[in-house]
Structure 1
């Protein structure tokens, strides 16, 4: 087994294992739950590109070191600088991240993401767009309540089988993953059992209607999940909620490239803080002062008008700003596969 790594003067943040025709990229910031730094994003892009051009490489495995796959993007340093007025640094970070995500979404060779542990934010972005996603009994997607599967002690055997197959054939890879897969034993309190309620409530047209429908359900039936969901929605930035709902509704029928370009423009508006300062307020409340009591502006979803959301879709008024320009990619993979192990 050959192993190379990222040499950036710090502890190697991305490790690479070379085993036969398989390259395994290992996110290696366990103390930070493998949060993606700018250096990690750049290194991953370099590794993915080099492996795509290398005819000896048949498959990519992506995993994390420690108890997390990846807890998201490491925005602590950029946001400290954004707080001082340099929003372009945050924009550069998002540009590189979105470009990496697009490369993964259009990658010609199979990628197997082993989602063992915490998977949040950007961690989802660099994994769910790959061809295969493997969940384990330790997988935690966004919130601890969402256990994704059951699979004690079989990951090393799965990885060994993938290494030995020596092929890029998706059917062969899928068969190997299926061999090690089990139907998950869901806990009684799993949100999966709430799908009827989720579909009913979250199919409402607006955030206000979604919250109102959840509150009506809460009156009819005492349910901890419904109550906690209402509280989470009410604690979130009202503007962000409305932007997110629109992005989800618009993105369902659009390609990943269109979604990334649009979200990049909106993110730059958010970073600039020209319409409100919610991103800095959230950063203050969660990261800096940690009082977890942000003062959003506007303070309620009923105060956020459609016109307020529309402003985030406009062109950035800055002569140095450019739309996200994704590199030309000729390959669009078939639908993804997810295994629950």
Structure 2
């Protein structure tokens, strides 16, 4: 077994260019090495990975090097595709914060193990981005419209929520994580090749079935489906506002406030992205998301990424000046153009993925617990 440890604890293991390249290089070596039969990924400190290093990306864009910033995203999405098509079993242990780009490293592993310390979120719309790294694929395959809810609100989920909705395979108490790691390592030593069912059985020795908290959004899944099944962001928000006049549930008010504080353009980009993702393969989703990220980095239509990052991460005044302050101002044509390639710009390089690699995302043959369940 080989362990890959994200080791930037002071920055919550946020991914920078060097880390992405090191991950790609080492995972390639382990995949080709016949003596390696299993890879484990974990984070050092209180975070698994809090996403990409937005501050570094923002610096490049403000200095006029948006194509350098895009290069980081290109490498990151290629890494995500590699993990999703990895030829050997991968186990991710998420015993802490996991957000944005960090989610893809875990969700595309064969097994995703979370604990009571796990805190999950995809809050990109709050900084003028939108959930990418394949989110339009894996969030669109959650039950009902819970994926829309996650991406449009940036809601924080705990370990119990993540397992229950299908974004992780197992819940293990943090006190048992070291025992689990040792057991998996012992299994890999005893076997030249890893039998997935045996690996699952080993994990299940330590796995628990956690109880959802009363505050869990999954308790309100029926209401979430009613709200977030609407076909536009405007209709979703109107539904919530009307609901708030009849129901004083704090959850409704928090949901409305989260959406109203996010970039209207980002909200519309994500809703279109996840709706298209339901009928597309992962590689198609990654390419589509990459095109939109390119336009946001180049500020082709809006400067919301710079505004949101400045307001939330740099100045921290939490007062971004979105180009379009109202949802109605974000026309469908602008949203559509974000997902098209930047034709005629020499600095834009399209995302090229190795489509000969076979995806591991159809896991119905494994004996794991819930993984990316179909909508119903």
Q: Verify same fold: TM over 0.5.
A: yes
CA contact (8 A) 2:117 2:174 kept: no
Q: How does 1:106-117 map to 2 (within 5 A)?
A: 106-117=85-96
Question: SS of the residue aligned with 2:92?
Answer: strand
The residue aligned with 1:331 is 358
Question: SS of the residue aligned with 1:194?
Answer: helix
Between the aligned partners of 1:325 and 1:312, the Cα distance in structure 2 is 18
Which of 224, 232, 235 is the equivalent residue of 2:250? 224
CA contact (8 A) 1:117 1:139 kept: yes
CA contact (8 A) 2:38 2:89 kept: yes
Question: SS of the residue aligned with 1:126?
Answer: helix
Q: How far off is 1:287 after superposition?
A: 2.1
CA contact (8 A) 1:201 1:214 kept: yes
The change in CA–CA distance for 1:26 and 1:144 in structure 2 (over 3 A counts) is farther
Q: Is residue 2:178 matched to residue 1:156?
A: yes
Which of structures 1 and 2 has the bigger CA Rg?
A: 1
Deviates more, 1:143-152 or 1:174-183: 143-152
The residue aligned with 2:143 is none
Between the aligned partners of 1:37 and 1:314, the Cα distance in structure 2 is 26
Between the aligned partners of 1:41 and 1:271, the Cα distance in structure 2 is 19
The residue aligned with 2:139 is none
Q: How far off is 1:339 after superposition?
A: 7.4
Q: Is residue 2:60 matched to residue 1:81?
A: yes
- Once the two structures are superposed, residues 114-159 of structure 1 have per-residue CA deviations (whole angstroms, 9 ceiling, x without a partner) of 1111010000011101111011111111168421236241101111
Between the aligned partners of 1:234 and 1:209, the Cα distance in structure 2 is 13
- Once the two structures are superposed, residues 162-214 of structure 1 have per-residue CA deviations (whole angstroms, 9 ceiling, x without a partner) of 11112422111111112211111221111121111111111110001111111
Question: SS of the residue aligned with 1:48?
Answer: helix
Deviates more, 1:319-328 or 1:219-228: 319-328
Between the aligned partners of 1:313 and 1:257, the Cα distance in structure 2 is 14
Question: SS of the residue aligned with 2:3?
Answer: strand
Which of 329, 332, 346 is the equivalent residue of 1:306? 332
Between the aligned partners of 2:238 and 2:116, the Cα distance in structure 1 is 34
Between the aligned partners of 2:9 and 2:353, the Cα distance in structure 1 is 30
The residue aligned with 2:228 is 202
Q: Give TM-score, length-normalised by structure 1.
A: 0.90
Between the aligned partners of 2:272 and 2:199, the Cα distance in structure 1 is 36
Which of 158, 163, 188 is the equivalent residue of 1:147? 158
Could you list the runs of 5+ residues in structure 1 that have no partner in the other structure? 1-21
Between the aligned partners of 1:338 and 1:265, the Cα distance in structure 2 is 34
Between the aligned partners of 2:179 and 2:250, the Cα distance in structure 1 is 38
Q: Is residue 2:348 matched to residue 1:321?
A: yes
Q: How does 1:220-299 map to 2 (within 5 A)?
A: 220-299=246-325
- Once the two structures are superposed, residues 208-256 of structure 1 have per-residue CA deviations (whole angstroms, 9 ceiling, x without a partner) of 1111111222222211122111101011110110010011011122111
Q: Give TM-score, length-normalised by structure 2.
A: 0.81
Between the aligned partners of 1:338 and 1:87, the Cα distance in structure 2 is 42
Q: Is residue 2:69 matched to residue 1:41?
A: no
